[in-house]
Structure 1
Amino acid sequence: EPHIYILSQAHNASTFIPAHIPLLYTHSYASSIPNWYAIYPIFSSIIDQYSQLKWLFICEPQTRFNLTKLIEFSQKTKDLYIGHGLYDTEPSIIHHYSFSFDNPYPDFS
């Protein structure tokens, strides 16, 4: 069930966005994705399913945001990661996809 706050933000921003915004809930399909506990396999699944995707916003149900301002901001910027990024100081099993230490990964805790 979509969170009412997120739906109200989509309704309020309807002049900026298409009528249909896909709201994805990772818990509903994650178990069918190998290594679903890591975020990057989920990204791959989303990109495969929504190849026309221009940007992606990930949040928890209790997150509050102004969708209109987020859309305006996203149209003015290049590729950008906003959030609290974590960095590995040495290779770790959970981040074996890349041993590049200069790429942050999301903090979902």
Structure 2
Amino acid sequence: MSSVFITFCFIKTVSGNSKFLNGTAIYRVSDDEDEFRELNYKGFTRNSETLIVDFERNSIVLMIGRYVYHQNAEYLSLIQTVLLLSPQTDSACALEDLPYIFPLLIYSAPAVTNSYI
């Protein structure tokens, strides 16, 4: 089974080198002001044609990636990132700046003969 996860995230931590970046990000779960979830992300940037743009801590980024939930933790292998707000602009970004847009999770799986849901 494969799944694609798309959401706006507040970057809590970011580290890495010229080949990859990783860290933690927070996304909004509902329109309740205090309902957020944290995920761990990793993106490989070795290829010069990568769709992962550079971002820094306290940025708001649209993240698209392959999603895995394992042992009460969420992981995202980045496919593409789009920087929306950065602390380098006039004012610093805060967690409350995240848009009220819920994450999109798309699942796909091969069909299995003689099976049903």
TM-score over 0.5 for the alignment?
no
Instruction: Tell me which interval the TM-score lies in, with the shorter structure as reference length.
Output: under 0.3
- Between Structure 1 and Structure 2, the one with more helix by share is 1
- TM norm structure 2: 0.21
Higher relative contact order (CA 8 A, sep 6+): 2
- Between Structure 1 and Structure 2, the one with more strand by share is 2
